[in-house]
Amino acid sequence: MGRPIPNVLSIAGVDPSGGAGLLADLKTFSALGAYGCGVVAALTAQNTRSVDAVHVPPVDFLRQQIDTLFSDVAVDAVKLGMLADAMTVRTVADRLAHFDARRVVCDPVMISKSGDHLLSPEAAGMLREALLPRAFMLTPNLPEAGVLLGARAPESVREMYRSAERLRNLLPLDGERWILLKGGHLPGSELTDLLFDGDRMIEMSSRRIETRNTHGTGCTLSSAVAALIPRHAGGFRPVESAVRQARDYLTAAIAASGQLAVGHGHGPVQHFHALWHE
């Protein structure tokens, strides 16, 4: 009998269009062979063009969702997405610490693809203070890196190196912790991400695919990493291998996004490109 299928949890917001957030995370987990669990941290009125409203469930109910799940299910990895306010961030951090959650991949969702702000300044401060000490990996894009560091966003790969080093200092210095700094906001035909553990800086580049169908790419990449890290555990350079496979998966999902016809704005990627056929 092979290795058990990993149980991977997403704590995130719900995007009714299905391209980002919790629904996209569950699609990604399923496509990559993980069993997906989900805790609703926010509800949005959202489509491919805009985020019109956000409703945050009471923190007592959020806590109950997390406690009820962890009391029964062995969770192998956790992906954190949209946590809209400071109390939500504090509650999630407290419960992850209580259950000593492993392999926490934190995607600091702050700004939607349509430009809408999804994280309050108070919540960003609480994220740095309470949640990052629990993170195994932090996966910001360049604008998010700027917010976390209180600086402007990096404007070159060279500046990304310095930002990755500074971001790593936001995580605990002891133990294995990683920064995946995503460079998709830089111009050019090449797309470069940096993976850094405080020692090795790994540059990963790929060809940029010209398309408007980029809704939820950050959610999809971070959830792919969370799904794949348990599968690579025990192998050679497991985190690097998981991130490379996750990037390949996302690239193929973007390339196949033209198979879908969802909305009139930034469309979703094709999460099931390897399973569905035209």
Q: Which domains does the chain have, with CATH numbers?
A: 7-259 (3.40.1190.20)
Answer yes or no: 214 catalytic: yes
Nearest-10 Cα torsion for 32, 37, 40, 44? 30
Which position has the token pair 């063009």?
49
> Residue 119 — very low, low, confident or very high, per pLDDT cuts 50/70/90?
confident
CA angle 127, 15, 255 (to 5 degrees): 100
Residues in the chain: 278
Q: For 238-261, what is each residue's pLDDT tens digit?
A: 999 999 999 999 999 999 999 999
Answer yes or no: 219 catalytic: yes
Catalytic one among 13, 88, 182, 183? 182
> How far is the C-alpha of 45 from the C-alpha of 28, rounded, in Å?
22
Q: What tokens were used for 256?
A: 């196949």
Catalytic one among 88, 217, 220, 251? 217
Catalytic one among 18, 216, 220, 251? 216
Per-residue pLDDT, averaged over 219-229, amounts to: 98
Catalytic one among 219, 220, 251, 267? 219
Catalytic one among 214, 220, 251, 267? 214
Q: Classify each residue of 203-238 as buried b or exposed e, where b means 16 or more C-beta atoms within 10 Å of its C-beta.
A: ebeeebeeeebbbbbbbbbbbbbbbbbbbbeeeeeb
- CA atoms 143, 147, 148, 150: torsion sign: positive
> How far is the C-alpha of 218 from the C-alpha of 199, rounded, in Å?
24
Per-residue pLDDT, averaged over 175-202, amounts to: 94
Q: Render 99-162 in DSSP notation, one character per residue.
A: TT--SEEE----B-TTS-B-S-HHHHHHIIIIIGGG-SEE--BHHHHHHHHTSPPP-SHHHHHH
Answer yes or no: 218 catalytic: yes
Closest of 149, 255, 160 to residue 209, by C-alpha: 255
What pLDDT sits at residue 109? 82
Answer yes or no: 217 catalytic: yes
> Residue 277 — very low, low, confident or very high, per pLDDT cuts 50/70/90?
confident
Q: For 201-218, what is each residue's pLDDT tens digit?
A: 999 999 999 999 999 999
